[in-house]
Structure 1
Amino acid sequence: MESNKVTKPKRITVLGNFSGRNAGDNAILGNLLEDFSRVYPDIEFIVPTLNAGFVRAAFGQYRIRALGMMPWNGALKIFGLPTLRAMLATDLVLITDNILFDRAFFNPAFNYLSTISMIAPLCRRRNIPLVLYNASVGPITSRRGERALQKVLDAGPVGILRDTISREHMLELGLRCPEFIEGADCALNTTVPDEKHIDSIMDRLFPQRSPRKIIGLNINAYLSSWQGGKAKGAASDFTSIVANAVNRLRAESDADLMIFVTQVMDHGITDELRKKLQGGDQIPVVANPEFSYNEIAGLLSRVDMLIGMRTHAQILAVSVGTPVVNINSYPKTLAFLKTIGMGRWSIDVGDLSDSSFYELTREAWQCRSETREKLIPEVQREREKARSAVEVVGRILNGAQVRAASG
């Protein structure tokens, strides 16, 4: 039997959005580092980031080297010298999350695929594998995007995908990869703080009482940008529909409400929604970066059901057994829910109405105990898939055949 041990110290570059602004991205990096370090403690991780100070402070217990991607570092976000150095002065590159799409292709402030695809052929010539690591891909909507993604796939022996929709999308486009392996999102393995710590936070959030039932709520600013313009009306219409349904559900269920903001950019639309919720100024808000992703997961474990939009707000919720209702504004979110058999509890932003949204949330609330029972084994299976990706990468670092690891 082949040893899993990496035969000599290695460096791995990890590409993703690791600025600290998004609790989901923080959870991806934190769990990736933990999963690898348990098995391969000698690996050094190179992490290009817009906030090197955050990465060092949050993940300094691991062997990491944070590379700044600011203008004074010779970079315009991902485009620049830090990414070039990180991808060429390493033994392997991991591409995480969902950063390979072709929207705003020539805008490095938004698009990662254009830059990665330019460097990928250089990695290939230097025998530096590029591995999609528990990642999603797409949407790819142009020939330019197809060509760029193929360059990335050509530079690696395997793509480890966290959902089946990404694989289907690439196969439909005729893109080639030596092998696709079924993985899962790293954030599913998030550990929560001890109960006493979460109790102390709950006491601060609800100083007057201990709530018996709690509805969690999370929204984001993506209303039409990923829906092909299908969202109806303005943000004010959207927040009114959500508020009307949530107010009605709270009244009928006699439940408290807790709002979760996992991405800093969502505070504006969350504030607008909060003004329309009954007793909005009294509703506690759990926000990144005030709370770590571990604490957010711990607080989500105290919620009976989450109505959410952000993918990783929902991933953190189900990781602790909390059922979710998805307001779908982004392809990867529904893809994840379908992977764990929860696609039923989703409604597209473009299909929202007072009646449709309320009926879905009411039914989900009534079925929450049954949903939780179904959720737990599905999530455990996904956790194991996420961690198994470490072994695949270890084999690549040792020059072994990937197929033997996945078969």
Structure 2
Amino acid sequence: MARPLRICVLGNFSGRNAGDIAILKGLIHDIEARFDNPYFLVPTINPRFIREHINRHGNVQPVSLLPWAMSAKIFGLPLLHATLTSDVILITDNILFDRRLWNPLYNYLGTLSLILPIAARRGTPVVLYNASLGPVTTTMGRRCLHRLMQACSLVILRDQPSQQLLERLDIPHPAPHFAADCALGTMAVDESAVDRIAERENLFQNPNGTVGFNVNTYLDVFLNKVGRHRNTHGLLDELARAIDRLIEQLDVDILFVITQVMDLKVAQPLKRRIKQQHRVKLISNQRYHDQQIAGVLRRCELLVGMRTHALILAASVGTPVVGIVSYPKTTGFMLSIEQGHHLIHFDTLDEDNLVRHVADAYATRHETRLQLKPIIEREKARAAQGADLLHDFLFRRPDTPPEHPPSMSTPPHERHPLPKPD
């Protein structure tokens, strides 16, 4: 029997971000449905989390990026070894941007632009898998992205802005395919599990419903970028006033839903600024995993979010969303689910604008939920198509000419011998 296909999956899989873990779970699920017994190598700074929460079938091996494994997060021998002993390398999510380009504790693009061309020259396909690109705003970032794209054999993007970035920077690339975010396939926990969470956290007691809010710790970065407010305090005050107005105007409760634990240091001060404390609750992925959070979001009337994957988890269960645009990928996702009219751009974010958008979304929430149902089913199917595209690329018929050298008509694990996993 041929040994399993070894797939190295590159993303930010520390366990601190519910969205990133939802991506990994969705990717593994879709590929397992299309390939026979695939074996996954997952570089991570939290090997224990991968072993305990992701390795369900014994076919997911964490690759430690910790210092005692001779790695400074992404930069080190473990990543080099994982990529050189894999049959195919998948880059997913949104890890290719140029902020803090040469800091491997924060940035992936610089390191991957050095390592992945080596794997490509050895005949290992490098694939952008349901990925987003950018932002890339510096000359060196453009050079790194150009180098990485030259190493790619297959490009599957999850949004149009990523292709527009490549065209704007004049970076040659294989003709892209378009799929969707792997996290859309998140399977929310059942209603009885949500009942237990609601009882524990005292949620969903208001007959007028609960509006979810999600915030991002990088408020200072976004504010500096658009030149508004001298620090985050002014914006937090505005957001708190807006939320108090929404509680009064709509007679709803508010639930802060945090999907990245670092965002608690913004969410908690914001929550304390709200006058009507008895109407405000908070949950986070510090206690609840992605499927539990999705189940809670299913009961919210809508979610107002800054983190793209908070919006994705909400939309995956049919909950209407209002996106506060802090990243290009947020715009890309909202447009993909035909909700561009529910976008608030960061340079226009203020108390009155937020109240108006949320009130409008609340008023039409039932119609939006009905409209979203077929759209989300379509996007879930598109996310799963990434695995079909990958399979067809790796195992196309011998009489089909390859788009990119080396020939993909021979399965990658037969082109060069590789050691078996430990």
| TM category, shorter | over 0.9
- The whole-number CA distance in structure 2 between the counterparts of 1:313 and 1:242 is 18
Q: TM-score, normalised by structure 1?
A: 0.93
SS at match of 2:374: helix
- The whole-number CA distance in structure 2 between the counterparts of 1:267 and 1:282 is 18
- The whole-number CA distance in structure 2 between the counterparts of 1:208 and 1:113 is 42
Of 98, 101, 108 in structure 2, the residue corresponding to residue 105 of structure 1 is 101
SS at match of 1:387: helix
SS at match of 1:131: strand
Alignment match, 1:58: 53
1:150 touches 1:176 (CA, 8 Å); kept in 2?
Answer: yes
> 1:289-337, CA deviations, whole angstroms, 9 ceiling, x for partnerless residues?
3101000001000000111111100000011111111222122112211
In structure 2, do the counterparts of structure 1 residues 279 and 261 end up closer, same or farther at CA, with 3 Å as the change threshold? Answer: same
- The whole-number CA distance in structure 2 between the counterparts of 1:108 and 1:227 is 25
Q: How many residues align?
A: 398
Alignment match, 1:25: 20
**Residue 66 (structure 1) shift:** 0.2
The residue correspondences of 1:54-203 to structure 2 (distance < 5 A) are 54-62=49-57, 63-203=59-199
The residue correspondences of 1:264-343 to structure 2 (distance < 5 A) are 264-280=261-277, 283-343=280-340
- The whole-number CA distance in structure 2 between the counterparts of 1:214 and 1:200 is 17
**Residue 353 (structure 1) shift:** 2.1
Which piece of structure 1 moves more, 9-18 or 276-285? 276-285
In structure 2, do the counterparts of structure 1 residues 250 and 207 end up closer, same or farther at CA, with 3 Å as the change threshold? Answer: closer
What residue ranges of structure 1 are gaps of 5+ in the alignment? Answer: 1-5
2:204 touches 2:210 (CA, 8 Å); kept in 1?
Answer: no
- The whole-number CA distance in structure 2 between the counterparts of 1:207 and 1:398 is 50
1:241 touches 1:352 (CA, 8 Å); kept in 2?
Answer: no
Of 200, 221, 237 in structure 1, the residue corresponding to residue 217 of structure 2 is 221
1:92 maps to amino acid = V
- The whole-number CA distance in structure 1 between the counterparts of 2:331 and 2:223 is 12
SS at match of 1:344: helix
2:319 maps to amino acid = T
SS at match of 2:286: coil
**Residue 228 (structure 1) shift:** 5.8
Which piece of structure 1 moves more, 345-354 or 155-164? 345-354
**Residue 141 (structure 1) shift:** 1.4
The residue correspondences of 1:189-268 to structure 2 (distance < 5 A) are 189-206=185-202, 209=205, 211-226=207-222, 229-230=225-226, 232-233=228-229, 234-268=231-265
**Residue 150 (structure 1) shift:** 2.1
Alignment match, 1:382: 379
Identity of aligned residues (%): 39
Alignment match, 1:361: 358
- The whole-number CA distance in structure 2 between the counterparts of 1:362 and 1:207 is 21
SS at match of 1:284: strand
In structure 2, do the counterparts of structure 1 residues 91 and 310 end up closer, same or farther at CA, with 3 Å as the change threshold? Answer: same
1:11 aligns with 2:20: no
SS at match of 2:219: coil
**Residue 20 (structure 1) shift:** 0.4
1:275 touches 1:281 (CA, 8 Å); kept in 2?
Answer: no
In structure 2, do the counterparts of structure 1 residues 172 and 209 end up closer, same or farther at CA, with 3 Å as the change threshold? Answer: closer
Alignment match, 2:409: none
SS at match of 1:260: strand
SS at match of 2:12: coil
- The whole-number CA distance in structure 2 between the counterparts of 1:364 and 1:384 is 26
**Residue 41 (structure 1) shift:** 4.2
SS at match of 1:158: strand
- The whole-number CA distance in structure 1 between the counterparts of 2:78 and 2:22 is 23
- The whole-number CA distance in structure 1 between the counterparts of 2:297 and 2:39 is 32
RMSD of the alignment, in Å? 1.9
In structure 2, do the counterparts of structure 1 residues 157 and 344 end up closer, same or farther at CA, with 3 Å as the change threshold? Answer: same
2:206 touches 2:253 (CA, 8 Å); kept in 1?
Answer: no
**Residue 113 (structure 1) shift:** 0.6
**Residue 198 (structure 1) shift:** 1.1
**Residue 213 (structure 1) shift:** 0.6
